[in-house]
Amino acid sequence: MRAAILLAVFLPVLHGQTAADLLAKARSAYQRNQAQEEHWNWIAVETRSLANKAGRAIETFPSVTAESVIRNDGRRCNAVVAWGDGRKPYRADADPEARCQAMDYFRAPFPVAALLESGSAEVTAPVRIAISPDKTRLQSRDLAIRCAASIRASVQLDPATFFPTLLEGEVVENGCDIHSSQSCNMAAGGARR
């Protein structure tokens, strides 16, 4: 009932705004919130799969549940809370600094604000935006922009603040692909016992 009342109150404010208008407000609210990160907390669940060229999943990996943790210097980081296969997370019982270090190499490949800059979006409900891959930004030299442009997403906004309260998406283009020319040399004779 409360949600219906909120929508009724804010619907006139949202009426007539384009997806670009709402995304700009969402991006601004998100960036303002980033400056206040010591005051918030969140939990995210991520699933990944390996797909063939046709887009069909050929392997699905265990989901990972991560939370924001406060480091010793007051900044936030990601720390694993649970793995979908039931294994205990690495350094689960350690202090926040050690838990953060375990995830330092697994940061999101794009900033959320870059996704909220999409030029390919439409309003699907009064406070929900559907974002499609942005073909023009897929050509960027910046990996963060290319990756954000590769995502099909749905963003739910708070009607009072325009803050993105729910973001669901999947990478459907190849802008997040990282190509490396590094090689790994194995010692002759294999592993020793």
Angstrom distance (rounded) from CA 134 to CA 81: 33
Closest CA to 102 of 73, 81, 84: 81
Compute the distance between CA of residue 59 and CA of residue 39 in angstroms, rounded to an integer.
38
Give the H or E element holding residue 45: strand 43-46
Q: Which of 120, 118, 129, 126 is nearest to 160 (CA)?
A: 126
Q: Can you give the pLDDT at residue 193?
A: 35
Q: How confident is the model at residue 5 (pLDDT cuts 50, 70, 90)?
A: very low
**What confidence score (pLDDT) does residue 55 get?**
76
Give the per-residue pLDDT at 104: 67
Per-residue pLDDT tens for 53-86? 787 889 999 998 888 888 888 777 888 889 999 9
Query: If you search the block for the tokens 């897929």, which residue do you land on?
Result: 138
- What are 8-33's pLDDT values in tens digits? 444 444 567 899 999 999 999 988 88
C-alpha distances in Å from residue 94, one per residue of 1, 84, 91, 101, 173: 43, 20, 5, 11, 37
Q: What is the DSSP letter of 138?
A: G
- Type of residue numbered 148: A
Mean pLDDT of 129-143: 93
Q: What pLDDT does residue 33 have? A: 82
pLDDT of residue 188 exceeding 80: no
- Distance, in Å, from the CA atom of 165 to the CA atom of 170, rounded to the nearest integer, reads 17
**DSSP β-bridge partners for residue 79:** 67
* Residue matched to tokens 């219906």: 4
Does residue 171 sit in helix, strand or coil?
strand
